[in-house]
């Protein structure tokens, strides 16, 4: 049987309208009975929004606060035991939740907050790659984890959605360690799938109303996609999101090629049934993606010698840099790839491309968008 993903059309952030859409979405999956099965009586439900870093309210970097409120309104009909939380890549989760407006919404509706600092150790026996895990206790012990990802581009993984959203369940600075330990995008993808085996998302509701294209996941451009995606399979939800932004074959993106290869979850269009809106009429063909193909990227990981001539790299725009050092701080490699060096009268990062693992943590967390995914000349030719 095909995996169902609900696709809904919705413009802008109006709390009543989104609530109505979400209820329509659940109706398409089986209505009240479906939600009652998803959230059994007395179940503890964890909402996991994307709070990548401390961002302003209405920023397309994070799950929108109005969207979050609409989700709570619907789920409140089924449980009073709602908690939300995340562990951002930089800054405290409390601050990130406050600034993005989620904390205020949660207080109004009596939703508890968890800062993801209480950890639990878990062993995963049938892992693809990673057996020993430390994750936020609440993400492991809640009865139902509902992921609330944002549709965005991502420097290293090309795309971030319902699969990658759970990376926030890894507490604090440990996220940087995973970047250092997983030396290529395919291993990083396997690590993400193992993590999703540990924390087990039961349902995903993706905020793709205003997505992010270009220099994501933090410094890209807002892009109105007017879409909400819902479904119990995180890989299927991401597959539909990828098709929406112009990937005819979602496995062009390495992490979803790994999903296909390992049979981890439904990802191929023929295995997924889109219900609600017609996917074809909502697809866009000019979404600014991170460029690359699975073949070239896959080969790159093993071809160390040519990697520096082909692989995308963190590229600095000198004028934008505010010399904050954050990129140097977050770089997971040892010794650091980045050295802050004086150039034209200010301290800016200088990169050693030979040792850079292309995790793009620096690009992801630069507060002013001074770093982007740069392309080499040879890379440009190959990726065309
Ligand atoms: S590139 Fe960005 S993160 Fe690095 S020092 Fe400049 S402003 Fe800070
Ligand atoms: S310089 Fe940037 S992309 Fe390279 S390893 Fe460090 S954080 Fe990752």
Note the pLDDT tens digit of each residue in 335-360: 999 999 999 999 999 999 888 888 88
| Residue in this structure with the two tokens 């074959």, named with its chain if needed | 249
Mean pLDDT for the stretch of residues 164-179: 89
Residue-level pLDDT at 304: 59
- Of all ligands present, the nearest one to the C-alpha of 353 is 2
Say yes or no: CB of residue 331 within 6 Å of ligand 1.
no
Geometric angle at alpha carbon 377, from 376 and 381, rounded to 5°: 115
Residue-level pLDDT at 306: 64
Say yes or no: CB of residue 208 within 6 Å of ligand 1.
no
- Ligand 2 centroid, distance to 160 Cα (angstroms): 18
Torsion angle, alpha carbons of 100, 102, 104, 106, to 10: -170
Q: Beta strands 313-316 and 371-374: pairing type?
A: antiparallel
Neighbours of 318 (CB within 10 A): 10
pLDDT in tens, 143-155: 999 999 999 999 8
Residue 31 scores a pLDDT above 60: yes
Domain range annotation of the chain: 3-282, 294-383
Residue-level pLDDT at 333: 86
**Tokens linked to 29:** 């999956």
Residue-level pLDDT at 127: 96
How far apart, in whole angstroms, are the C-alpha atoms of residue 94 and residue 85? 9
Coil, helix or strand for 292? coil
- Ligand 2 centroid, distance to 336 Cα (angstroms): 8
Residue-level pLDDT at 299: 47
Coil, helix or strand for 274? strand
Distances (CA, A) of 245 to 189, 200, 208, 266: 20, 26, 10, 18
Give the start-end residues of each E strand in the chain.
3-9, 45-49, 82-85, 112-114, 119-123, 132-136, 144-148, 150-154, 158-160, 201-213, 221-231, 272-276, 313-316, 338-343, 346-351, 371-374
The structural architecture, per CATH, of the domain 3-282 is: 3-Layer(aba) Sandwich (3.40)
Q: 294-383 adopts what CATH topology?
A: Alpha-Beta Plaits (3.30.70)
Residue-level pLDDT at 98: 97
| Residue in this structure with the two tokens 């970097």, named with its chain if needed | 61
Residue-level pLDDT at 147: 98
Strand partners, 204: 147, 231
How far apart, in whole angstroms, are the C-alpha atoms of residue 207 and residue 314? 27
Number of the ligand 1 atom closest to the C-alpha atom of 340: 5
């Amino acid at each position: 049987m095909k995996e169902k993903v609900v696709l809904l059309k919705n413009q802008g952030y109006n709390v009543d309208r989104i609530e109505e859409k979400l209820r329509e979405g659940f109706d398409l999956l089986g209505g009240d009975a479906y939600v009652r099965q998803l959230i059994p009586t007395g179940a503890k439900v964890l909402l996991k929004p994307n709070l990548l870093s401390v961002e302003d309210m209405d920023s397309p970097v994070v799950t929108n606060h109005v969207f979050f409120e609409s989700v709570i309104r619907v789920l409140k009909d089924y449980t009073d035991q709602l908690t939300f939380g995340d562990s951002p890549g930089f800054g405290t989760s409390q601050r990130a939740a406050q600034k993005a407006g989620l904390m205020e919404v949660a207080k109004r509706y009596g939703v508890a907050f968890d800062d993801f600092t209480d950890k639990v150790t878990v062993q995963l026996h049938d892992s693809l790659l990673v057996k020993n895990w430390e994750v936020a206790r609440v993400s492991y012990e809640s009865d139902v984890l509902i992921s609330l990802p944002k549709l965005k581009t991502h420097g290293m993984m090309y795309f971030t959605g319902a699969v990658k959203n759970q990376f926030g369940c890894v507490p604090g600075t440990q996220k940087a360690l995973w970047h250092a330990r997983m030396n290529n995008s395919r291993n990083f993808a396997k690590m993400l799938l193992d993590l999703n085996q540990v924390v087990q998302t039961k349902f995903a509701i993706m905020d793709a109303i205003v997505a992010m294209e270009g220099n994501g996941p933090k410094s890209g451009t807002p892009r109105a996609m007017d879409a909400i995606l819902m479904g119990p399979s995180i890989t299927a939800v991401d597959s539909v999101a990828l098709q929406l932004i112009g990937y005819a074959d979602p496995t062009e993106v390495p992490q979803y090629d790994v999903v296909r290869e390992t049979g981890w979850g439904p990802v191929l269009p023929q295995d997924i049934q889109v219900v609600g809106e017609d996917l074809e009429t909502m697809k866009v063909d000019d979404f600014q993606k991170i460029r690359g193909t699975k073949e070239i990227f896959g080969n790159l990981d093993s071809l160390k010698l040519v990697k520096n001539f082909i692989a995308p790299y963190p590229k600095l725009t000198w004028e934008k840099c505010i010399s904050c050092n954050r990129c140097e701080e977050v770089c997971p490699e040892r010794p650091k790839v980045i050295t802050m060096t004086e150039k034209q009268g200010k301290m800016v990062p200088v990169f050693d491309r030979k040792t850079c693992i292309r995790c793009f943590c620096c690009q992801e967390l630069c507060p002013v968008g001074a770093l982007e995914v740069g392309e080499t000349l040879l890379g440009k030719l190959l990726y065309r």
